[in-house]
Chain A
């Protein structure tokens, strides 16, 4: 039978994290296969072509487009400075004259006798790509980037905002149901990744930005609070580009949601250590989940049983599998698969679906559609 369940979000105490770091355009790779890199190591760089500026030379000089070649004082490939003439028109022994000046520093890229326009390309803009995580370079993608690998504690969230950052983990609560409020955030939180239980308020997020906090990892977030903090409502779930001063990772979802005990314990265990986090979420066309990576630098902790992503499709629901229910009426509850009835069953909506029997933490056994459970990978 096909896999009628949602692949789970990873919560791994020890996982071999592999990150492909790629330039947006071809460039130069600065490290070698086998090199060890740190978070800030620049692994590749490129020059993004500068912005093109289109100058309507024919219009400015008042001549026909097909005549502009003869009035150009600069040719294709010439460098020009801002304010420097690129074309000049003289008539009646210089009595009528007009100059067309370059609006920017750049290079003449094209001169069109059809449109009468000239394109001046601004100097290229250098960009640098950092490693984001410390680790070993296991592969080089020529002219594009590198693949870095590190053993780490690895947590995937349900939803996040804000881009890549890193900082020291600071536990802000003792229990998974705790809420992070503005009063708890002090100057000691500067540059830290704050971890709390079930919720963070909009005021707390604003205070966190004021105090220079790098990120917040939390169980749930109210849509109202997130919208208030961002200043707008998220439509399509493609995030990570927000410039909001910090990165947020909601490990469970929207609403007041206790962080999964296991996740909380992993973060607790690594308090004081560096975590690399990214809020980027893309649910559509390529699932990207927000993540918390806590690199494990001590090699004696690494075992050979490290998992890779390819294991996903071989696994599946079976009796004993730990799952989270992802729809009402048991939304957010954790349990173990008790049985997998093969026949389709009617649910409350009157739909006939493939179901799973789950034994919840309180001992109750409930029937839910298989599509509504998410495997908690152990």
Chain B
């Protein structure tokens, strides 16, 4: 139970920080005269978790000092953040999230790769962890390889799951023995026991205690898969958060001090970010996809038919991990998004230099476009990772009807994600690159291309990167968090309408027709040919009635070739009509591809004209 220094109703100032892997970001909030909470200002400074500083509070102080300088409101004392507020001094609440030092890095262990091991992975990811590896009995690695892996990984924590309640205990004990025999050591702090959360067959709890209690900081919680058809990640997720605070954070440099400054427990950044994506779904009552495109990692969130899934792609990011995106996708896939000719080796060297100097920002337009190209690929890869885990629980009906003819069909079903892009109402982006894109339309198009949205999808982004701050704030002061989120955080970009269907038939004249009734009563009629994208301005908070008539073979949500009547919302960009085909394929010939990209970018006014000039950097 959190004890606040002041009743919520009496609070006037709130400070929130996010200690990121590169930058510590402070956000300052104030209750206005009318009683409404608003965002006031930001302060940022390099994170100081590493040598030579090895004390995160130094970076926090520097970021907060910037807020002090910009507002004239004194926030710091020798002992940390001044609380509670008095006149023009201090804050009533201080909260923080953290992903510094690589975030929470976990090893997950289960029995069957596609069942308990996958559930364990989902639970760890759901808690905001980076999953370094997942071990299972059937992962095709010999025992000695598994042991070597456990010994080399040095995770912050292990989650062990396996077996249904009442089932055999032998197999989960085998995996436990494997962990014990490997004698894993933790990443931070040499003199403490590695935390292990056991969330497997409850019948094995006593034996697990006997085997592991002396060697590890063991926490036993309810089974993650008590029955084959039930996944129960909550208790494991809560235990991970507890262990994160008690064992991991308290050993990270400076966190012992920071923990004393904060009013509520420090939360992993992805966990807080995920809370806000869930809030979007709750507010708008629609399925939501969210993405946090960071420097080191990319986090993807989905709230689909009430089910929340979070994935953290550890090595897909825009600074530290930029070259891993390059490695994973290949230079050709990055080059395909560039609307100018440039030597691929030159692009690689530039990305390598970004990797070695991750805090540098693009100064030339061409470098900005190159980073945007990488961002599209990072999103594509991270979403593929997400879809791999956003799948129906496997092993449920298969076990019952394994011998049915229909089981082959079922099996295929379980291989596919349940996320149907036609049913996604919102796509929300956050993270430095998206929030700092010089033109909002750039972020909109990166999101559209990276996720290949289909049907009618509303797009939004985090204005100045404060979703994690608001996520942790919402745990203690939901009213303030929601007010700031709606007024200052969520930037409505507009609505994208993109029919599903491939542009394979050469003779298609029109992919879809739209009849739009604008808020002022004017009518717009458009016949969209294949391979085009354009925007119709429609301001934020404005709505327009739209009739969409896709051609045969194209679907906007009402079925292939079926008309859809709906209302769309506006935003900074407006209504984006996209008939470039899904999946989106770019021309294979360089000249044709560049021509097409330029046409699309010009239609939406994505970049200044000078980017297309052949000379220059």
Residue ranges of A at the interface with B (Cβ–Cβ < 8 Å): 1-4, 6-7, 25-26, 49, 51-54, 65, 109-110, 112, 114-117, 119, 121, 144, 158-159, 222-224, 233-237, 253-255, 281, 283-287, 309-310, 312-313, 326-329, 331, 347-351, 353, 368-369, 371-372, 374
Smallest CB separation, A47 vs chain B (Å): 13
Establish whether residues B170 and A371, one from each chain, have CB atoms under 8 Å apart when the complex forms: no
Establish whether residues A371 and B296, one from each chain, have CB atoms under 8 Å apart when the complex forms: no
- Name the interface residues of B458-506: CB closer than 8 Å to any CB of A: none
Smallest CB separation, A98 vs chain B (Å): 21
- The residue among B100, B183, B349, B364 with the most chain A CB atoms within 10 A of its own CB is B349
Establish whether residues B348 and A349, one from each chain, have CB atoms under 8 Å apart when the complex forms: no
22 CB contacts below 8 A, A to B, read: A2-B46, A115-B177, A116-B170, A158-B353, A159-B356, A224-B345, A224-B348, A236-B320, A237-B356, A254-B349, A283-B355, A284-B102, A285-B102, A287-B50, A313-B53, A327-B364, A328-B366, A329-B363, A349-B368, A369-B363, A371-B361, A372-B360
Residue of B nearest to A227 (CB): B348
Establish whether residues B173 and A372, one from each chain, have CB atoms under 8 Å apart when the complex forms: no
Is B544 located at the chain interface by the 8 A CB criterion?
Answer: no
Establish whether residues B190 and A54, one from each chain, have CB atoms under 8 Å apart when the complex forms: no
List B contacts of A158 (CB < 8 A).
353, 356-357
Residue of A nearest to B63 (CB): A2
Given known pairs A54-B178, A313-B58, the reply for A331 and B361 (CB within 8 Å) is no
Given known pairs A237-B356, A350-B438, the reply for A329 and B327 (CB within 8 Å) is no
Establish whether residues B438 and A351, one from each chain, have CB atoms under 8 Å apart when the complex forms: yes
- Name the interface residues of B416-435: CB closer than 8 Å to any CB of A: none
Establish whether residues B361 and A372, one from each chain, have CB atoms under 8 Å apart when the complex forms: yes
List B contacts of A52 (CB < 8 A).
147, 181-182
Query: Can you add 19 more A-B contacts, CB < 8 Å, to A6-B359, A284-B21, A351-B436?
Result: A1-B69, A3-B45, A114-B207, A159-B352, A234-B323, A254-B352, A255-B346, A255-B349, A255-B353, A283-B355, A285-B21, A285-B101, A286-B49, A286-B101, A287-B50, A326-B353, A329-B617, A350-B608, A371-B361
Smallest CB separation, B615 vs chain A (Å): 12
Q: State the CA gap A52–B366 with chains docked (Å).
A: 54
Neighbour of B66 across the interface among A1, A25, A49, A287, CB < 8 A: A1
Q: State the CA gap A36–B146 with chains docked (Å).
A: 42
Establish whether residues A222 and B345, one from each chain, have CB atoms under 8 Å apart when the complex forms: yes
Neighbour of A114 across the interface among B170, B185, B616, CB < 8 A: B170
Smallest CB separation, B537 vs chain A (Å): 20
Neighbour of B345 across the interface among A223, A233, A328, CB < 8 A: A223
Residue ranges of B at the interface with A (Cβ–Cβ < 8 Å): 21, 43-46, 49-53, 58, 62-63, 65-66, 69, 100-102, 143-144, 147-148, 169-170, 173-174, 177-178, 180-183, 185, 190, 207, 296, 315, 320-321, 323-324, 326-328, 345-346, 348-350, 352-353, 355-368, 436, 438-439, 608, 610, 616-617
Establish whether residues A327 and B144, one from each chain, have CB atoms under 8 Å apart when the complex forms: no
Establish whether residues A235 and B315, one from each chain, have CB atoms under 8 Å apart when the complex forms: yes
Establish whether residues B21 and A368, one from each chain, have CB atoms under 8 Å apart when the complex forms: no
List A contacts of B43 (CB < 8 A).
2
Smallest CB separation, B145 vs chain A (Å): 11
Residue of A nearest to B317 (CB): A284
Smallest CB separation, A103 vs chain B (Å): 10
Establish whether residues A115 and B357, one from each chain, have CB atoms under 8 Å apart when the complex forms: no
Given known pairs A1-B69, A115-B177, A223-B349, the reply for A327 and B360 (CB within 8 Å) is yes
Residue of A nearest to B102 (CB): A285
Residue of B nearest to A114 (CB): B173
Smallest CB separation, A181 vs chain B (Å): 19
Number of residue pairs spanning A and B whose beta carbons lie under 8 angstroms apart: 180
Q: State the CA gap A1–B63 with chains docked (Å).
A: 9
Interface of A (DSSP majority class): loop
List B contacts of A286 (CB < 8 A).
49-51, 101
List A contacts of B52 (CB < 8 A).
309-310, 312
Residue of B nearest to A349 (CB): B368
Given known pairs A26-B190, A254-B352, A285-B50, the reply for A348 and B363 (CB within 8 Å) is yes
Q: State the CA gap A286–B360 with chains docked (Å).
A: 17
Q: State the CA gap A54–B174 with chains docked (Å).
A: 10
Q: State the CA gap A49–B359 with chains docked (Å).
A: 41
- The residue among B169, B173, B610 with the most chain A CB atoms within 10 A of its own CB is B173
Smallest CB separation, A111 vs chain B (Å): 11
List A contacts of B617 (CB < 8 A).
328-329
Establish whether residues A2 and B66, one from each chain, have CB atoms under 8 Å apart when the complex forms: yes
Smallest CB separation, B398 vs chain A (Å): 26
Given known pairs A283-B320, A372-B363, the reply for A350 and B353 (CB within 8 Å) is no
Smallest CB separation, B299 vs chain A (Å): 16
Smallest CB separation, B340 vs chain A (Å): 14
List A contacts of B181 (CB < 8 A).
52, 54, 109-110, 119, 121
Neighbour of B183 across the interface among A49, A222, A281, A371, CB < 8 A: A49
Q: State the CA gap A207–B525 with chains docked (Å).
A: 68
Residue of B nearest to A285 (CB): B102
Establish whether residues A235 and B327, one from each chain, have CB atoms under 8 Å apart when the complex forms: yes
List B contacts of A112 (CB < 8 A).
173, 177
Given known pairs A2-B62, A49-B183, A253-B353, the reply for A235 and B365 (CB within 8 Å) is no
Establish whether residues A2 and B65, one from each chain, have CB atoms under 8 Å apart when the complex forms: yes
List A contacts of B147 (CB < 8 A).
51-52
Smallest CB separation, B456 vs chain A (Å): 30
Residue of A nearest to B322 (CB): A237
Q: State the CA gap A329–B362 with chains docked (Å).
A: 9
- The residue among B46, B52, B324, B363 with the most chain A CB atoms within 10 A of its own CB is B363
